[in-house]
């Protein structure tokens, strides 16, 4: 945004339009039945991401032009997100797929951060957008594996909209609450660290180590997905997100802050994968996961301004308490409803599988 001579407020609006576009289009895509294979929507999303990035890199400074590009980029992310969610939802073990994919995504993120400076050296201040386009192009061949994903069957009722069963509503409330609490906490985690007189190098090193540890933890628990009890594991990781954030925000020394950040990072990665897996268990077409994913981004977008108000008018401890409450407030009621419906769906899937196996070809 500096290369486009945009003010901080206009730059923040660019991010707002991108995130809200992503969230809104994810919700829209969950409400319609696309008669397109997952691989088609994935490559369409990649093409739109490349196009919008290059349009921004062209150097046009009109804020309407930039916000339009942000909306297109959000649509691209939604198409890619829908493809990812639906592909994993159709697998036999979505928890494992989501956990391993999220861990691998962190490796890609680190590679992106490392590669962007080279793009700016070659193409100038706007090279970051050229670099984004180049990275999407380089990763696009990986999406060829999505050709094996079966087409989702046409909905038999409600015109293809998300089925708002009690379990789906409970999952949505838990998911949005966790996302809202995470945003409240994490948006000002660096500020909390600086208030403890921690150096910028230490904070960056801690974040890097947390990324690496979350990758290893995601791979480990992804491999053990079929041996873990969902009700215990999801409950503990959701609590870990709130507890980690509370420790980090109320820390009085570097050790407590570091412990809180490590717990937060690893639990947030794992809980997100198992929330996606829970959505896949409720709906193998991926519509519930897509809808909840869009609402998740909206919750995360709202968390930062709420956290800002708390920091301006209260303390960091209050910030951690607010984030913790947002993370756990819906769990006592929502989790029992969710797990009861998941067990019902798993029983139905098992019965259906036995019927298919017993049916002569």
Instruction: Give yes or no for residue 36 having a pLDDT over 50.
Output: yes
C-alpha closest to that of 244 among 192, 282, 174: 192
Instruction: Give yes or no for residue 264 having a pLDDT over 60.
Output: yes
Task: Supply the pLDDT for residue 160.
Answer: 47
The band of 78, judged by pLDDT with boundaries at 50, 70 and 90, is very high
Task: Supply the pLDDT for residue 159.
Answer: 43
Task: Supply the pLDDT for residue 158.
Answer: 45
Tokens of 173: 């409330």
CB 253 within 8 A of CB 220: no
For the segment 145-167, what is each residue's pLDDT rounded down to a tens digit? Answer: 888 776 665 555 444 455 678 99
Instruction: Give yes or no for residue 41 having a pLDDT over 80.
Output: yes
Q: What is the DSSP string of 24-67?
A: HHHHHHHHS---S-HHHHHHHHHHHHHHHHHHHHTT---HHHHH
For the stretch 335-353, what's the b/e string if a residue is b when 16 or more beta carbons lie within 10 angstroms of its beta carbon?
bebbbebbeebeeeeeeee
CB 297 within 8 A of CB 23: yes
Q: Looking at 29-33, 87-91, 154-158, 330-334, which range is the least confident one?
A: 154-158
CB 181 within 8 A of CB 320: no
Output DSSP code: residue 90: T
Q: How far apart are CA 171 and CA 355, in angstroms?
A: 29
Phi, psi of 272 (to 5 degrees): -65, -40
Q: Any alpha helices (H) in the chain, and if so which ranges?
A: 8-31, 38-57, 63-89, 94-123, 127-139, 166-186, 189-195, 200-223, 230-249, 254-282, 287-313, 316-328, 331-358
Task: Supply the pLDDT for residue 199.
Answer: 87
For the segment 201-219, what is each residue's pLDDT rounded down to a tens digit? Answer: 888 888 888 888 888 888 8
Instruction: Give yes or no for residue 321 having a pLDDT over 90.
Output: yes
Residues 6+ apart with CB under 8 A from 131: 112, 115, 116, 118, 119, 120, 123
Q: How far apart are CA 55 and CA 294, in angstroms?
A: 25
Task: Supply the pLDDT for residue 16.
Answer: 80
Cα atoms in the Cβ-side hemisphere of radius 13 Å centred on 139: 20
Cα dihedral 170, 173, 179, 185 sign: negative
C-alpha closest to that of 102 among 94, 112, 92, 91: 94
Question: Across all residues in the chain, what is the average pLDDT?
Answer: 84
**Intra-chain end-to-end CA distance of the chain, in Å:** 61
The band of 235, judged by pLDDT with boundaries at 50, 70 and 90, is very high
CB 183 within 8 A of CB 302: yes
Phi, psi of 188 (to 5 degrees): -125, 20
The band of 177, judged by pLDDT with boundaries at 50, 70 and 90, is very high
Q: How far apart are CA 50 and CA 61, in angstroms?
A: 19
C-alpha closest to that of 219 among 100, 109, 98, 95: 100
Using the structure block, give the residue that is written with the tokens 């691998």.
Answer: 104
Phi, psi of 57 (to 5 degrees): -65, -15
Most confident of 15-19, 65-69, 138-142, 173-177: 173-177
Looking at the chain, the whole-number percentage of residues with pLDDT higher than 70 is 89
């Amino acid at each position: 945004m500096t290369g486009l001579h945009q003010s901080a407020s206009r730059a923040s609006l660019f991010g707002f339009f991108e995130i809200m576009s992503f969230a809104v289009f994810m919700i829209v895509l969950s409400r319609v039945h696309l008669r397109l294979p997952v691989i088609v929507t994935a490559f369409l999303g990649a093409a739109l991401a490349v196009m919008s990035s290059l349009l921004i890199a062209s150097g046009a400074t009109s804020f309407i032009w930039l916000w339009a590009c942000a909306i297109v980029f959000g649509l691209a992310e939604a198409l890619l997100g829908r493809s990812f969610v639906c592909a994993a939802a159709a697998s036999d073990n979505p928890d494992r797929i989501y956990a391993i994919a999220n861990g691998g995504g962190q490796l890609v993120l680190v590679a992106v951060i490392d590669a962007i400076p080279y793009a700016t050296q070659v193409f100038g201040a706007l090279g970051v957008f050229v670099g984004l386009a180049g990275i999407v192009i380089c990763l696009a061949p990986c999406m060829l594996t999505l050709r094996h994903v079966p087409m989702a069957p046409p909905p038999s009722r409600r015109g293809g909209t998300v089925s708002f069963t009690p379990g789906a509503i409970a999952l949505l409330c838990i998911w949005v609450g966790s996302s809202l609490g995470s945003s409240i906490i994490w948006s000002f985690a660096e500020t909390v660290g600086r208030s403890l007189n921690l150096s910028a190098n230490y904070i960056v090193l801690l974040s890097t180590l947390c990324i690496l540890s979350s990758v290893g933890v995601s791979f480990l628990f992804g491999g053990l997905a079929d041996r873990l009890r969902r009700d215990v594991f999801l409950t503990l990781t959701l609590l870990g997100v709130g507890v980690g954030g509370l420790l980090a925000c109320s820390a009085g020394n570097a050790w407590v802050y570091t412990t809180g950040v490590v717990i937060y990072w690893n639990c947030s990665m794992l809980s997100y994968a198992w929330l996606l897996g829970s959505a896949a268990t409720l709906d193998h077409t991926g519509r519930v996961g897509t809808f909840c994913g869009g609402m998740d981004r909206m919750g995360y977008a709202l968390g930062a301004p709420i956290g800002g108000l708390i920091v301006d008018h209260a303390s960091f401890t209050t910030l951690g308490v607010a984030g913790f409450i947002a993370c756990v407030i819906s769990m006592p009621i929502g989790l029992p409803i969710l797990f009861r419906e998941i067990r019902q769906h798993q029983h139905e899937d098992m019965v259906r599988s036995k019927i298919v196996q017993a049916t002569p070809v």
